[in-house]
Amino acid sequence: MHGIYVHRLGNYLKENHPDTWKDLVPKSVLGISTKYIGGRNYFKEIGFYFSKDDLSDDIIISHKKKVKFYLLVAVIFWISAFCALSLGP
């Protein structure tokens, strides 16, 4: 779910706030311009989602909350899975 909302918010930014989106996407991926191929910088996007900048847009505020919530759920899941596997029978 986290990945879905990251993708949705990225697409929303691309369509409705192109200047902000241009600041988040890389200029090239493996030396190939993103003009020719799609590319995203997950870590830059996550940095935006945890920033206080909401561009005065209620949809961005809503999606940011969902991205943060599902990231927390994913972290808890992975920690729980790691602990369960390391403790073993």
Per-residue pLDDT tens digits for 17-38: 999 988 888 776 666 666 666 6
pLDDT at residue 19, rounded to an integer:
92
Please tell me the distance from the alpha carbon of residue 66 to that of residue 77, in angstroms, as a whole number.
16
Q: b vs e for 18-55, b when ≥16 Cβ sit within 10 Å of the residue's Cβ? A: eeebeebbeeeeeeeeeeeeeebbeeebbebbeeeeee
Please tell me the distance from the alpha carbon of residue 63 to that of residue 83, in angstroms, as a whole number.
30
Please tell me the distance from the alpha carbon of residue 54 to that of residue 66, in angstroms, as a whole number.
14
Instruction: Determine how many CB atoms are found less than 10 A away from the CB of residue 4.
Output: 11
* Confidence band for 64, pLDDT divided at 50, 70 and 90: very high
Domain ranges of the chain: 2-87
- Say if pTM beats, i.e. exceeds, 0.85: no
pLDDT at residue 75, rounded to an integer:
94
Q: Which residues contact 89 (CB under 8 A, 6 or more apart)?
A: none
